[in-house]
Structures are given as C-alpha cells and as structure tokens.
Amino acid sequence: MSIERLDKFLSSQTSISRNEIKTSIYKNQVTINGEIIKDTSRKVNPETDIIMLNGQQILYKKNLYIMLNKPKNTVSATKDNKDKTVIDIIPKNLYRKNLFPVGRLDKDTEGLLIITDDGEFSHRITSPKKEIYKVYEATINRKLTNSDIENFSNGIIFLDGTKCLPAKLEIISDYKALVTICEGKFHQVKKMFSVINAQVCELKRIKIGNLSLDENLQVGQSRELTPQEIKSIFD
C-alpha cells in the first residue's frame, strides 16, 4: 500500500467518519509509532507504521471478508428504506465502508452469506461460469421422491421458460433435502420446488464452494474469514 493521509487511512479501515477521526486526533487519541499526532494530514505507511486509535492498533487490510449467519427478516442489500439489511447487523468492530453482500439470500432465508468489499472476489463466487456450488438445506411441505431427484438433475424449467442448470437434490428425510446449485436466480430454490408442486417451508444455505457455515456462529452473528477459509471456497 502506498503512503497516504492518516485520516484517509483510518476512515478506510474503520467505521469512523473523517470528522470523528479529526476529533480523536485533537483529543490526542491517535499515535504513530508511539508519537501523539496533531496533524490530520500526516502521511503514513500502513505497512510499516504502528498506528493506534484510542489505544487499539489499526492494521491495514486491503480487503475484508466476513462470514455472516444471516437471520430471517434481513435483506441482502447495502441499504433499504424499509427493512434491516445484512450490512446493518455487522458489528462495529468488523464494519468499514464499501462492504456489500456476495450474492443474495431471500429475506426469509437463513444461513451462510459472505460480506466483503472485494468486487473481483464476489464475481468469482457469483458467476455461474465459475461453477462455485452453493448448498441449501430445504424443508418441504410434502414427501420427497426419487423422481424429484431426477427432475432436479435434468434441469428445472420455470413457467416462463427459463431453464436452470442441472442441480443435485439429496433427500435427508421425507420432508428435508440438500439442494446444490451454482446459479443465483431470483428465488431460485423456491421456484425449482414450486415447479415440482412442492413448497419450501424453511431454507438455509450451509455451504459455498468448500466453505461451510461455522456451526458455532449463532444466527445473526458474524466473524472474519481466515485466509484458509477464503482459499477453500475455490478449492
């Protein structure tokens, strides 16, 4: 990373506004290599300088990758005038500017959602051409059969003529199954079941590529992904 202004760096790496950063500097709450800083335009090298804000070291991260166990009644968007978004529930210690959800989960769907500020990374996951498979756990309102498995593997065709790529349906019990797809059409899983006269009662995404939802992450909680977990998505 190149040398840049202190206030710009702190703003890019935290949830704090430029004005709030100026206030912190005026209150002697910012240090560089142990030196109290008074100048908001002070130049820093985030890769070599030790930058402290309110006693906490601010480490440079080019991009941020967060695993969220998405709850129901939140929308996969950065802003919404009506509903709470997945960005709204990211804790302050993880939040920074320009975060967005990778793909989307329906408002009433729970489970694994990645939040990032890396557009190229997001494209690699969401593009069907990249064949990054997503696994959903679905609870259905009727008994599932082997013919349902065959219909999914042949590629479900929606009423408007849209054909889905072949998908894997793995029956867990009479009313529960795992669905594996590499697309992200609007309401896709629900529509696929609707075509075979089944209604989805509960839907939860549990896997993206080889990244599984952390079982210790409660609904609504989030944490930063490790480098190994990020790599596992594409392995």
CA distances from 81 to 64, 75, 200 (A): 25, 11, 27
Q: Residue 91 and residue 104: Cα distance in Å, rounded?
A: 19
Q: Residue 72 and residue 134: Cα distance in Å, rounded?
A: 18
Nearest to 114 by CA among 187, 58, 63: 63
Q: Is the distance from CB of 30 to CB of 72 less than 8 angstroms?
A: no
Element (H, E) at 70: strand 65-70
Q: What is the DSSP-derived secondary structure letter of residue 139? A: E
- Token pair recorded at residue 173: 């019990």
Is 88 known to be catalytic?
no
Could you say which of 106, 117, 118, 160 is catalytic? 106
Q: Which residues pair with 137 in a beta bridge?
A: 178, 204
Long-range contacts of 11-18 (CB under 8 A, 24+ apart): 11/97, 12/96, 12/97, 13/46, 13/58, 13/59, 13/60, 13/61, 13/96, 14/53, 14/58, 14/96, 15/92, 15/95, 15/96, 15/97, 16/53
Active-site residue list: 106
